[in-house]
Amino acid sequence: MSAATSLRVLLEQAFPDAPVLEVVDRTGGGDHFQVTVTHPRLAGLTLVDQHRLVYDALSGPLGDGTIHELRIRTRGTG
Amino acid sequence: MTQLRTRIDELIKTEPVTLFMKGTPQLIMCGNSERALRALREAGAPVTAVDIMPDPQIRQELSALSGWPTIPQVFVGGELIGGADIVQELAETGELEQKLLESLGEGYRGRAVEKTVTV
């Protein structure tokens, strides 16, 4: 499984049935990612708290060095 | 708290705007730190920069304190505002200037001085 696919699996677990869920390997090197998530779980939260939920979902690959750089864009729905 | 963590905590609470970055404003070592600094400069923020690279402990203690895993990290008035993506987004919507105005008061742009400190 590519790193991008494993990130997507983790995000799908944290944000099930997300209207928008994208993982882009920015450099093709499998360690610089852009993730975009829109999900009701994010609604009403500050951007800091929205990003914290993404960091929580990706704590594994963030902790083990799989992710060298992560860009995040989040939105609540509704 | 370790001595280093206490020092970081004091800095965040006493400096109007603190940017923890890779490198310094004069020698930026990371594109994300550059994005955050640019957004802050454009908003006229008085940036106090801290280079996390001289000692891995700085990043460790900072993340333990903030609960934020990545660099850069921006604090305004003691509060974590976010990393590069959030600061850039807030700058684009005008919310960053609004936050600086609320925290620093009218005319903050004219008083903005950029400096680099060590921890």
Domain of residue B89 covers 3-117
Query: Which pLDDT score, from 0 to 100, does residue A54 have?
Result: 98
Confidence band (pLDDT; 50, 70, 90) for B112? confident
Shortest Cα distance from A78 to chain B (angstroms)?
20
CATH code of the domain containing B102:
3.40.30.10
**Would you call A47 and B68 a contact, using CB atoms and an 8 Å cutoff?**
no
Reported pTM: 0.94
CATH code of the domain containing A33:
3.30.300.90
Q: How many domains does chain B have?
A: 1
Provide, as residue numbers in chain B, all residues whose Cβ is less than 8 Å from the Cβ of A72: 85
**Option in B69, B80, B84 nearest A48 (CB):** B80
Residue range A5-46, pLDDT digits in tens:
999 999 999 999 999 999 999 999 999 999 999 999 999 999
Burial of A14 (0-12, 13-18, 19+ CB in 10 A): middle
Domain of residue A45 covers 3-75
Residue range B12-34, pLDDT digits in tens:
999 999 999 999 999 999 999 99
Over residues B33-48, the mean pLDDT reads 97
**Would you call B67 and A52 a contact, using CB atoms and an 8 Å cutoff?**
yes
**Would you call B89 and A47 a contact, using CB atoms and an 8 Å cutoff?**
yes
- Does A49 touch chain B if contact means CB atoms closer than 8 Å? no
* Whether residue B103 has pLDDT greater than 80: yes
Query: Which pLDDT score, from 0 to 100, does residue A1 have?
Result: 86
φ/ψ region of B78 (left if φ > 0, alpha if ψ in -120 to 50, else beta) reads left
DSSP secondary structure string, B88-110? HHHHHHTHHHHHHHHHH-TTHHH
Phi and psi angles of residue B80, each rounded to the nearest 5 degrees, phi first: -70, 120
Mutual orientation of helices B84-93 and B31-42 as an angle, nearest 10°? 30
Provide, as residue numbers in chain A, all residues whose Cβ is less than 8 Å from the Cβ of B69: 55, 59, 62
Over residues B38-53, the mean pLDDT reads 97
Chain B residues within 8 A (CB-CB) of chain A? 32, 67-70, 80-86, 89-90
* Whether residue B111 has pLDDT greater than 90: no
Q: How many domains does chain A have?
A: 1
How many A/B residue pairs have CB atoms within 8 Å?
28
**Would you call A47 and B86 a contact, using CB atoms and an 8 Å cutoff?**
yes
Which of B29, B86, B87 to mutate to probe the A interface, most A CBs <10 Å?
A: B86
